[in-house]
Amino acid sequence: MKQVFLKNGEAIIEDVPAPMAAPGEVLVRVYRSCISVGTEMSGLKSSSEPIWKRALKRPDKVIKALNMMATKGVNETMNVIRGQLGAGLVVGYSAAGEVIGLGEGVDNVEIGMRVACAGAQSAHHAEIIRVPVNLTVPLPDNVSYADAATVTMGAIAMQGVRRIEPTLGECFVVVGQGLLGQITTQILKANGCYVVATDVDDARLTRAKELGADVTLKAGDEAPVKKIAQISNGVGVDGVIVTAASSDSALLGGAFKLCRRKGRVVLVGDVPIQIDRADIYRNEIDFRISTSYGPGRYDRRYEEEGLDYPVSYVRWTENRNMLSYLSLISDGKVQPSKLIDRQYAIHDAGAAYASLKAEGERPLGIVLTYTENDDEFQGILSKRTVATRTGLAKKDGPVQVGVVSPGAFLQGTHLPNMSAMSEAYQIRAVMSRTAHAASTVATNQRASYSTTDYSELLADTDVDLILIGSRHDVHGTQVIQALEAGKHVFVEKPLTLDREELAKIADIIEKAGEKAPVLLTGYNRRFAPGVAKIREKLKDRQGPMIIDYRMNAGHIPLDHWVHGKEGGGRNLGEACHIYDLFTALSGSEVEEISALSIVPKEGMLAKNDNFVATIRFKNGDIAKLTYTALGNSSWPKEQMNVYCDQEVYFLDDYNKVIGGKEQEELWSGSSDKGHKAEIAALYEALSGKADWPIPMWQQLQVSNIAFAVEEAIK
User: What pLDDT is attached to residue 662?
Assistant: 81
Q: Report residue 179's pLDDT band, with 50, 70 and 90 as the boundaries.
A: very high
Buried-exposed string 30-43: b where 16+ CB fall within 10 A, e elsewhere: bbbbbbbbbbbbeb
DSSP string, 625-644: EEEESSS-TTS-SEEEEEEE
Check residues 353 and 66 and name the one with the higher pLDDT: 353
What is the amino acid identity at position 414? Answer: H
Q: Is pLDDT at 444 greater than 80 in this prediction? A: yes
Whether 159 and 187 have beta carbons less than 8 Å apart is answered as no
Which tens digits make up the pLDDT trace of 632-652?
A: 999 999 999 999 999 999 999
Q: Is 400's pLDDT higher than 80?
A: yes
160-289 has which fold?
Answer: Rossmann fold (3.40.50)
Torsion on CA atoms 504, 505, 508, 511, rounded to nearest 10: -90
Question: What is the pLDDT confidence band of residue 46, given thresholds at 50, 70 and 90?
Answer: low
Q: How far apart are CA 431 and CA 401, in angstroms?
A: 11
Per-residue pLDDT averaged across 390-418, rounded? 94
Q: What is the CATH number of domain 387-522?
A: 3.40.50.720
* Residue-level pLDDT at 52: 45
User: For the chain, where do the domains classified as CATH 3.90.180.10 start and end?
Assistant: 2-45+91-150+340-378
Asked: is 2-45+91-150+340-378 a CATH 3.90.180.10 domain? The reply is yes
Q: pLDDT tens digits for 537-564?
A: 999 999 999 999 999 999 999 989 999 9
CATH 3.30.360.10 fits 525-713, yes or no: yes
As a whole number, the mean pLDDT across the chain is: 92
What is d(CA 81, CA 72) in angstroms, rounded to the nearest whole number? 13
What pLDDT is recorded for position 233? 79
- Buried b or exposed e, range 200-233, using 16+ CB within 10 angstroms: ebeebbebbeebbbbbbbbbeeeebeebbeebbe
In the chain, CATH 3.40.50.720 sits at 160-289, 387-522
| Sheet of 611-617, strand order | 590-597, 611-617, 622-628, 546-552, 638-644, 647-652, 656-659, 664-668
pLDDT greater than 70 at residue 307 = yes
> For the chain, what's the residue count?
714
